[in-house]
């Protein structure tokens, strides 16, 4: 079946199986490698994408469901100033260890920043529910809070 | 240095190579796993699977051209089950197909006829049974034993004023790295094979692939790309993952890719060992330990794997970082029909330190001493003898670390305040607990350990480093090794490139045991120092100064006495190439070790120990049983801190894993030994909301003479006393004796019911 949607600002058309997840379409057919396969049941957030601006896990979506919609991955945000600032804070804080969860967390955080959701550190903890097994989250939370407020989390 | 690549998803993980290069041509592999804990394999019928279009092959034990033997410490383990299966989740066959879905369908159609055998799930029962054996050829379910005999324990206990005795039970832990196991094998001409795989020790992968295929090691090349978390799990399973892919590639002549589903990952790969520990300790009226008597029983599961090494480490750390004059320790690694145990950050030490540190709190309480004060009376210092009677002649900063962390946490005042708070608070109880741990650097006993790397200076002055150390988030090769070279040769960090995790480099040892930076970096340091020496002698001649007065800094080489006598690094390198001075070198460092007597467990255990202190504050909701960790104060005595931000990251990550282990993570086994919660919905790991305030660490830089710049090791440290510090805080909050993990709400409610105040 043919599906058309907007990927990072460009229209794409792909042939997919009815049961195909957006995660597999993105990785295997469109070769978007920033979208990582972690648990395949919507728990870990490694495969997070933005669907019309909202963070969702692409393993829990059938590609058919995104017909006509807008899908954004970190590849589409490379030139975005807020995104660049966010990554700079991640690097400055040391919030990236193995890097597997990082693109998904950045997308979630970027969406939260855009929507002005982070008034406190607890807001960040509440909204960014992606899993990371390396960092213990401290530096991730601080980096996002810094990007939101310009000050360190503690 | 690679953060941008990681941020943008450009850093290549194993599955990314599959996407980039081989999608159309490669075979995808799905594993057929045993649903039975213990059974004879009567027949494997692959005909229906093979009739599916797109299925290219089904491979079983009989397909293996080399040796079907991958046992790490004991030759007891096949790559693919042969004759019988020993745990639910054991690999029985590999199905290779043209895509994901066909491989999964193929795997479902492989029919295995099993004849069930009685299954042993409890290690205490398995120890006693002779009629049912997990490994018949071994004659017993006890896979391995260890012992320590020091002094005279009877005499020691006779001098004791207070004796405390308990049985502790610690549970399994799943690594839950976000990237599951993966490997891509590419067959090449002349029977060679290249494997790109997620593993922590490329040279071990090379050895195992070579054995399974029956080809020389020189024909096997292994590269680990970026690894999405390891924590020990990919030290054990990584080489086997590579061997599975290599086998299919070798037999089909096609690139072959294996990717574990999350469920397969949790069912198949080894776990942190579950342990039963019986611990008796005595202390005299002056508050000095007189004797310990300890029995350690590890639920080893179906295969010994690294069990003997894990058990040795537990055994030799059984005293904790304290002076104990008399000791009797017996360790047993026991086979059961469950997923087997393996490496996990802390390597046998977490469970024994839990027992030690619970004992220390209970002894202090009986003596009426403060827990910190009691520990300080017994703490190891320079000149102390360890449990194995090894003299600690340097690098013992644990006492100072404990004092400084207690001061920073305002321990004495806070403990009193919390006790006051609890008198008036009914539902919520608070507690503060301390736990200290030690962790031997390098391999245990006289097991050889070395560091090795290759460094070359390019014509333009940039530097390339080759090492087998891998990058799995800890940053040893991409950050510490770069820093080491930059410091020694005075070249800017952006001119240093580390080619890591490859068998093209000399065997650098594994990236485990907190050795990536401290020991792994030594080879890099030695190689860089050799090159510096040669170039210093050349620069001395060129500048007409004594090489000893030369400084290598910021891309220049100059005389300290007369900085005008100077040459740029780039020009010096050009001179070296022109005048025939060699600018490449291998750096090799063999760690000096001593004698160890296995019959008494006495002698040289480790070249040095890293030490850690954690003070933890908790709040317990006595109505729901929920424990919240409020704040953690870490303190580290692990030699030179090379990169503080990286060290903080290791400490914070380890504390999160300790919180997960103690309060939420638990593997449920059914009556067939099957893991019931092999997914992230039911195996719960911490989220950002579970993380407490983690204070900046206290560092005592007790430099180690055989570590790069005096570094010992950091990676594993904060996880080791984490569960004990939480349990001690919970025990303080509730006034109960905590002897088991996990402290999940339902377990906590049981403790509260039994509590004198409850």
Q: Which tens digits make up the pLDDT trace of A84-114?
A: 999 999 999 999 999 999 999 999 999 999 9
Rounded Cα–Cα distance for residues B436 and B720 (Å): 9
The yes-or-no verdict on residue B758 having pLDDT over 50 is no
* Closest residue in chain B to residue A31, using alpha carbons only: B19
| pLDDT value at residue B311 | 97
Are residues A59 and A91 part of one domain? Answer: no
- Chosen domain end from A20, A55, A76: A76
Longest CA–CA separation in chain B, Å: 84
B334 pLDDT exceeds 60? yes
* Closest chain A residue to B181, measured at CA: A38
One domain for residues A26 and A42:
yes
Decide if A143 is inside a domain. yes
Residue A154 banded pLDDT, cuts 50, 70, 90: very low
For residue B653, the distance in angstroms to the closest alpha carbon of chain A comes to 4
Q: What share of chain B in percent tops pLDDT 90?
A: 88
Q: Which residue of B has its CA nearest to A134?
A: B653
Output the domain CATH number for residue A61. Answer: 3.10.20.30
Q: Does residue A154 lie in a domain region?
A: no
Report the residue from B5, B9, B227 with minimal CB separation from A98.
B227
Q: How far apart are the C-alpha atoms of B163 and B281, rounded to whole Å?
A: 6
Separation between Cα atoms, residue B339 and residue B301, nearest integer Å? 5
* Nearest CB neighbour to B178, from listed A17, A46, A106: A46
pTM, entire model: 0.95
A33, A88: one domain:
no
**Nearest-CB residue to A31 (from B19, B101, B651):** B19
**Rounded Cα distance, A146 and A130, in Å:** 18
Sign of the alpha-carbon torsion through A131, A134, A136, A141 = negative
Task: Say whether both A72 and A94 belong to one domain.
Answer: no
Q: Which chain B residue has its CA at the smallest distance from A25's CA?
A: B19
Computed from CA positions of residues A4, A7, A9, A12, in that sequence, does the dihedral angle turn out positive or negative? negative
pLDDT at B443: 83
Structure confidence at residue B746 (pLDDT): 94
Q: Does residue B341 contact residue B171 with C-beta atoms inside 8 Å?
A: no
The confidence score (pLDDT) of residue B757 equals: 53
Confidence band, pLDDT 50/70/90 cuts, at residue B1: low
Q: Are residues A140 and A124 in the same domain?
A: yes
Same structural domain, A106 and A130: yes
Please report which residue ranges of B610-704 form alpha helices under DSSP H.
644-663
Fold observed for domain B3-117+181-259:
Aldehyde Oxidoreductase; domain 3 (3.90.1170)
Is the per-residue pLDDT at B467 higher than 60?
yes
Q: Do residues B211 and B67 lie in contact, with contact meaning Cβ atoms separated by under 8 Å?
A: yes
B401, B637 contact by CB (below 8 A)? yes
Statement to judge: residues A21 and A64 lie in one domain: yes
Residue B339 CB neighbour total at 10 angstroms: 30
Residues linked to residue B169 through DSSP beta bridges, in sequence order: B276, B740
Task: Give the span between the Cα atoms of A40 and B681, in whole angstroms.
Answer: 11
| A24 shares its domain with A51 | yes
Calculate the dihedral angle through the C-alpha atoms of B721, B724, B728, B730, rounding to the nearest 10 degrees: 120
**What would the DSSP string read from start to end of B65-116?**
SS-----SSSS---SS-BSEE-STT-EEEEEEESSHHHHHHHHHT-EEEEEE
Query: If you average pLDDT over residues B108-134, what whole number do you get?
Result: 98
pLDDT at A152 over 70: no
Which residues from A are below 8 Å from B653, CB to CB? 97, 133-136
State the total domains in chain A: 2
> What are B114's two structure tokens?
């099993």
In this predicted structure, the answer to whether residue B136 has a pLDDT above a threshold of 80 is yes
Domain B344-442+607-754: assigned CATH number = 3.30.365.10
Give how far A111 is from chain B: nearest CA, Å: 15
Any idea which residue has 């809070």 for tokens? A145
Q: Average pLDDT in the B453-476 region?
A: 92
> Using CA atoms, how far apart are residues B719 and B351, in angstroms rounded to an integer?
11
Domain that holds residue A30: 2-76
Give B690-710 pLDDT, tens digit per residue: 999 999 999 999 999 988 889
Residues of A in contact with B178 (CB under 8 A): 36, 38, 44, 46, 98, 100-101, 131-133
SS3 B560: coil
Do the first three CATH levels of B3-117+181-259 and B450-590 match, i.e. the same topology? no
Report the run of H or E that residue B399 belongs to, with start and end. Answer: helix B398-408
- Which range among B1-15, B95-109, B228-242, B638-652 shows the weakest confidence by mean pLDDT? B1-15
Please give the backbone phi and psi of residue B669, each rounded to the nearest 5 degrees, phi first. -110, 140
pLDDT of residue B327: 98
- When scoring B228, B264, B648, B694 by the number of chain A Cβ atoms within 10 A, the one with the most, hence best to mutate, is B228
Q: Residue A129 burial (CB < 10 Å; 0-12/13-18/19+)?
A: middle
Which positions 208-247 of B are in contact with A (Cβ < 8 Å)?
Answer: 226-229, 231
Domain co-membership, A67 together with A89: no
Among B residues 166-195, those touching chain A with beta carbons less than 8 Å apart? 175-180
- Name the B residues in 88-127 with CB < 8 Å from any A CB: 100-101
pLDDT of residue B756: 65
Asked whether residue A69 is assigned to any structural domain, the reply reads yes
Radius of gyration of chain A (CA): 15
B501 vs A contacts (CB less than 8 Å): none
Sign of CA dihedral B46, B47, B51, B56: positive
Could you tell me if B614 and B718 are in contact, meaning their C-beta atoms sit under 8 angstroms apart? yes
CATH architecture of the domain B450-590 equals 2-Layer Sandwich (3.30)
Q: Tell me the three-class secondary structure of B240-261, residue by residue.
A: HHHHHHHHHHHHHCCCEEEECC
In angstroms, the separation between the Cα of residue B402 and the nearest Cα of chain A is 23
CB spacing of B9 vs A73 below 8 angstroms: yes
Integer Cα distance of B552 and B486 in angstroms: 9
| DSSP class of B135 | S
Q: What percentage of chain B exceeds 70 in pLDDT?
A: 99
Nearest residue of chain B to residue A106 (CA atoms): B7
* Same domain membership, residue A89 and residue A144: yes
- Work out the end-to-end distance of chain A between its first and last CA atoms, rounded to an integer number of angstroms: 51
Contacts of A34 in chain B (CB under 8 A): 8-10
Query: End of a domain among A11, A44, A76?
Result: A76
CB B619 within 8 A of CB B630: yes
What is the rounded average pLDDT for all residues in chain B? 95
Tell me which residue in A35, A36, A139 faces B652 most closely, judged by beta carbons.
Answer: A139
Domain termination residue (choose one: A22, A56, A76): A76
Give residue limits of the domains in chain B.
3-117+181-259, 344-442+607-754, 450-590
Q: Does the beta carbon of B165 lie under 8 angstroms from any beta carbon of chain A?
A: no
ipTM rounded to 2 decimals: 0.96
Dump pLDDT digits (tens) for A1-31.
999 999 999 999 999 999 999 999 999 999 9
From A147's Cα to the closest Cα of chain B, the distance in A is: 15
pLDDT score recorded for residue A151: 65
Q: What angle do CA A10, A13, A14 make, to 5 degrees?
A: 135
For B434, the 3-state DSSP assignment is strand
* Alpha-carbon gap: B179 to the closest alpha carbon of chain A (Å): 6
| Chain B, nearest residue to A40 by Cα | B262
Tell me which residue has tokens 């995808």: B28
Which CATH number goes with the domain that contains A98? 1.10.150.120
Q: Alpha helices, DSSP H only, in B687-740? A: 722-734
- CB contact (8 A) between residue B6 and residue A99: yes
CB-nearest to B228 from A24, A100, A139 is: A100
- The chain A residue lying nearest B180, using CA atoms, is A38
- Picking from A34, A96, A133, the nearest residue to B176 by CB comes out as A133
pLDDT tens for residues B37-52?
Answer: 999 999 999 999 999 9
The pLDDT-based confidence of B281 (bands split at 50, 70, 90) is: very high
Report the alpha-carbon distance of residue B482 to residue B502 in Å, rounded. 17
CB-based contact (8 Å) between B483 and chain A? no
Same domain, yes or no: A14 and A65: yes
Token pair belonging to B451: 């560091």
> In this structure, are A71 and A97 located in the same domain?
no
Q: What percent of chain A has pLDDT over 70?
A: 97
């Amino acid at each position: 079946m043919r599906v058309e949607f907007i990927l990072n600002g460009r229209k794409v058309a792909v042939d997919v199986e009815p049961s195909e997840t957006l995660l597999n379409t993105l990785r295997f057919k469109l070769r978007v490698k920033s979208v990582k396969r972690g648990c395949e049941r919507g728990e870990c957030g490694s495969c997070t994408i933005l669907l019309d601006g909202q963070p969702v896990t692409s393993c829990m979506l059938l590609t058919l469901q995104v017909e006509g919609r807008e899908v954004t991955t970190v590849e589409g945000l490379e030139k975005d100033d807020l995104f660049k600032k966010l990554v700079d804070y991640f690097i400055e804080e040391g919030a990236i260890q193995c890097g597997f969860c990082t693109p998904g967390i950045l997308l979630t955080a970027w969406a939260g920043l855009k929507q002005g959701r982070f008034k406190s550190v607890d807001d960040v903890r509440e909204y960014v529910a992606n899993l990371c097994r390396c960092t213990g989250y401290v530096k991730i939370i601080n980096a996002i809070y810094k990007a939101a407020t310009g000050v360190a989390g503690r | 240095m690679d953060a941008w690549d990681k941020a943008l998803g450009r850093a290549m993980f194993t599955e990314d190579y599959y996407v980039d290069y081989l999608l159309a041509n490669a075979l995808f592999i799905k594993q057929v796993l045993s649903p039975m804990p213990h059974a004879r394999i009567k027949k494997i019928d692959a005909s229906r699977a093979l009739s599916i279009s797109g299925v290219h092959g089904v491979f079983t034990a009989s397909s293996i051209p080399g040796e079907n033997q991958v046992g790490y410490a004991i030759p007891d383990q096949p790559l693919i089950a042969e004759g019988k299966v020993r745990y639910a989740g054991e690999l029985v066959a590999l199905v290779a197909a043209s895509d994901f879905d066909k491989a999964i369908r193929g795997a479902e159609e492989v029919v295995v006829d099993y004849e069930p055998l009685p299954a042993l799930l409890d290690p205490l029962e398995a120890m006693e049974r002779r009629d049912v054996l997990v490994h018949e050829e071994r004659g017993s379910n006890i896979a391995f034993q260890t012992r320590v005999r020091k002094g005279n324990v009877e005499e020691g206990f006779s001098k004791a004023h207070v004796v405390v005795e308990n049985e502790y039970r610690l549970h399994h832990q799943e690594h839950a790295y976000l990237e599951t196991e993966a490997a891509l094998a590419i067959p090449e001409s002349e029977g060679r094979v290249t494997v790109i795989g997620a593993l922590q020790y490329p040279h071990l992968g090379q050895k195992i692939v070579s054995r399974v295929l029956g080809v020389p090691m020189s024909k096997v090349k292994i590269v680990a790309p970026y690894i999405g978390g390891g924590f020990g799990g990919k030290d054990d399973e990584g080489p086997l993952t590579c061997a599975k892919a290599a086998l299919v590639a070798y037999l089909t002549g096609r690139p072959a890719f294996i990717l574990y589903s999350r469920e397969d990952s949790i069912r198949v790969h080894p776990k942190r060992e579950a342990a039963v520990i019986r611990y008796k300790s005595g202390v005299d009226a002056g508050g000095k330990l007189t004797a310990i008597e300890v029995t350690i029983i590890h639920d080893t599961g179906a295969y010994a794997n690294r069990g003997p090494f894990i058990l040795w480490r537990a055994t030799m750390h059984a005293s904790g970082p304290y002076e104990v004059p008399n000791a009797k320790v017996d360790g047993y690694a026991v086979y059961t029909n469950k997923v087997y145990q393996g490496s996990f950050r802390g390597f046998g030490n977490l469970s024994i330190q839990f027992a030690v540190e619970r004992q220390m709190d209970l002894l202090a309480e009986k003596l009426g001493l403060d827990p910190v004060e009691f520990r300080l009376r017994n703490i190891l210092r320079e000149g102390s003898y360890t449990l194995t009677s090894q003299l600690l002649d340097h690098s013992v900063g644990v006492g100072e670390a404990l004092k400084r962390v207690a001061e920073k946490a305002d321990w004495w005042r806070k403990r009193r305040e919390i006790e006051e708070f609890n008198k008036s608070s009914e539902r919520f109880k608070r507690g503060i607990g301390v736990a200290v741990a030690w962790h031997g650097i390098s391999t245990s006993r006289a097991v050889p350990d070395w560091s090795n790397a290759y460094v070359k200076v390019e014509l333009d002055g940039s530097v390339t480093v080759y090492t087998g150390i891998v990058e799995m988030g800890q940053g040893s090769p991409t950050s510490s090794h770069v820093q080491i070279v930059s410091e020694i040769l005075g070249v800017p960090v952006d001119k240093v490139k580390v080619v890591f995790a490859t068998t093209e480099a000399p065997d650098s040892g594994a990236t485990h045991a907190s050795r990536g930076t401290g020991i792994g970096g030594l080879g890099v340091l030695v190689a860089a120092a050799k090159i510096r020496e040669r170039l210093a002698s050349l620069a001395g001649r060129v500048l007409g100064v004594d090489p000893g007065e030369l400084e290598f800094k910021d891309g220049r080489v100059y005389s300290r006495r007369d900085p005008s006598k100077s040459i740029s690094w780039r020009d010096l390198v050009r001179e070296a190439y022109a005048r025939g001075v060699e600018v490449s070198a291998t750096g090799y460092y063999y760690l000096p070790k001593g004698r160890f007597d296995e019959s008494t467990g006495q002698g040289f255990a480790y070249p040095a120990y890293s030490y850690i202190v954690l003070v933890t504050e908790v709040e317990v909701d006595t109505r729901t049983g929920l424990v919240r960790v409020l704040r953690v104060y870490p303190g580290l005595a692990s030699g030179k801190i090379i990169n503080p931000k990286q060290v903080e990251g290791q400490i914070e990550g380890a504390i999160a894993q300790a919180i997960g282990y103690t309060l939420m993570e638990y593997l449920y086994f059914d009556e067939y030994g099957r893991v019931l919660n092999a997914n992230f919905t039911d195996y719960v790991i911490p989220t950002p909301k579970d993380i407490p305030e983690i204070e900046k660490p206290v560092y005592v830089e007790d430099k180690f003479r055989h570590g790069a710049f005096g570094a010992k090791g950091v990676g594993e440290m904060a996880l080791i006393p984490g569960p004990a510090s939480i349990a001690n805080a919970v025990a303080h909050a509730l006034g109960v004796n905590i002897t088991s993990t996990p402290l999940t709400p339902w377990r906590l409610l049981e403790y509260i019911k039994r509590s004198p105040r409850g």
